[in-house]
Amino acid sequence: MFTNKLKQHWAEGRAAINGWLSIGNPFTAEIMAAQGYDSITIDAQHGALDYSAVLPMLQAMRASGVTPIVRVPWREPGAIMKALDAGAQGIICPMVNSAEEAAEFVSYLRYPPLGQRSYGPTRAAFAYGSYGLAANDEVLALAMIETRQGVDNLDAIAATPGLDGIYIGPADLTLGTQEGRLPPGFDREEPEIIALIQRIRDACKANGIRACIHCGTPDYAARAIGWGFDLTTVGGDTRLLATAAAASVARWRELTGSAPVAATKGAY
């Protein structure tokens, strides 16, 4: 039976750094998983990928020993169970707005009598060896609170039996609570958004579950750890690739004095 290393990490009182994959490619997943992250999340909600990419990406990450997580597109039992059967050790579920929805989400991750997960760990059984009811204690259920309704029901959601933590996506949290007053984005500095983030953290701590947040930079992630968060995502494959490529090109142009080639009118 597999042991979830991220849960062990937390049990030892250590905060965790999570990587993020939006590019549907196993080589990208393998490269990211080898960089020292504690966990890696495959984004099947907004990422440029589907299940046919998720499976080989999970396979590619196996050698690194990193804890693999999948953010599913929605609170849909088939998608959740299939990701677990493929070898995900944790599921992030978007748009959880009530205790009832949180309980429903949790039920899809647990085998009876604790839930309604269907048995058929096709790849997980090969990846982890013995895979049975003990998986109930190892797979992580992380709910996303992203709307005003979710915030209003925060305490009840956080108290849901079997829920392991809450994952904050600051962009949607801002969109879902500020009625269009503020643009989406990570690393929020607005006092009212920071207050919301810390309110979610407090609800997690009060109920003995993990507080997790998506960040854009290591500096902001370090602040979040200082606030008491248990896991911070720092960037992701698309942003890291774009940032590194842009910096390399900018440095080359600086050193060579070469300006970008102007686009030719009518060229295609």
Q: Which residues are catalytic?
A: 46
Task: Read off φ and ψ for residue 120, nearest 5 degrees.
Answer: 170, 60
Scan for tokens 């890291």, then name that residue. Answer: 240
What is the Cα–Cα distance from 227 to 248, expressed in whole angstroms?
34
Scan for tokens 């059967």, then name that residue. Answer: 85
Which CA distances in Å does 213 have to 167, 174, 187, 255? 5, 13, 10, 38
Q: Using CB atoms within 10 A of its CB, is residue 50 exposed (0-12), middle (13-18) or buried (19+)?
A: exposed
Contact 213, 232 (CB under 8 A): yes
179 backbone φψ class: left, alpha, beta (φ>0; ψ -120 to 50) = left
